[in-house]
Amino acid sequence: MKVIETKLQGCLIIHPDVHGDNRGFFLETYQEERYAEYGIKYKFVQDNRSRSSFGVLRGLHFQKTRPQGKLVSITRGEVFDVAVDLRPESKTFGEYVGVVLSEENNTQLFVPPGFAHGFCVLSELADFSYKCTDYYSPSDEGGIIWNDPIINIEWPIKDPNLSEKDRLLPTFDDVKCNILGEKK
Ligand SMILES: Cc1cn([C@H]2C[C@H](O)[C@@H](COP(=O)(O)OP(=O)(O)O[C@H]3O[C@@H](C)C(=O)[C@@H](O)[C@H]3O)O2)c(=O)[nH]c1=O
């Protein structure tokens, strides 16, 4: 397994070892002891999977008081996946990393608790799988609009297909005030 640190502390790009043979391939998508060696020492309590079609963008999502760390990967298709650092004490607060995850590259991203997360779909269909370090808590959901001008993510698609909820998300500026306890 190859693990690459990103500029956002704790946010890791993971390339699991893929064992190919004449039947196909095998890979371990999570192994507690080995992932812990790289700082992923969380207990995962929920596994999720979503399917989306080309041009769908889900995000940018976080939970306010019960932040979820997420170990994300793709079992079908290709996405551009984004993590935004929302940890108020972080030197990289407000910065993001983006990485292509696909069924070809088998890459994973570990998004620590305290980040917003989102992805857009680059293939006809994408099956997105992730493990979470805390439970889904709908009343605790927060979000930032995908095309926020301050975060300024270079999404590889234009005019994404968004849920009604995601279309109405606030800006980073609005969310930042809440996170940092500032008055606007
Ligand atoms: C996230 C989630 C949703 N749901 C339900 C609520 C709703 O009826 C339906 C779809 O929910 P959403 O529109 O919020 O799904 P979605 O937009 O896919 O939300 C997800 O986006 C990505 C980017 C993330 O990082 C995830 O943590 C999560 O926020 O599924 C659950 O039952 N459990 C869950 O953990």
Closest approach atom of ligand 1 to CA 117: 25
Catalytic site includes residue 96: no
Supply the mean pLDDT for the chain. 97
Phi, psi at 32, each rounded to 5°? -50, -50
- Give the active site residue among 61, 96, 117, 136: 61
Running DSSP on this structure, what letter comes out for residue 106? -
Q: What is the ipTM of this complex?
A: 0.98
Enter the tokens of residue 92. Answer: 């990289």
- 37 three-class SS: helix
Between CA 48 and CA 79, with CA 70 as vertex, the angle to 5 degrees is 75
Tens digit of pLDDT for each residue in 86-107? 999 999 999 999 999 999 999 9
Euclidean distance between CA atoms 108 and 29, whole angstroms: 8
- Give the active site residue among 35, 42, 96, 130: 130
Q: Which of 43-47, 67-71, 178-182 has the lowest mean pLDDT?
A: 178-182
Q: Is the entire prediction scored with pTM above 0.90? A: yes
pLDDT score, position 178: 84
Phi, psi at 180, each rounded to 5°? -90, -5
pLDDT score, position 184: 54
Euclidean distance between CA atoms 145 and 85, whole angstroms: 15
Q: Is the CB of 67 under 6 A from ligand 1?
A: no
- Which structural domains are found in the chain, ordered by start? 42-180 (2.60.120.10)
Q: Is the CB of 131 under 6 A from ligand 1?
A: no
pLDDT at residue 75 is higher than 60: yes
Catalytic site includes residue 130: yes
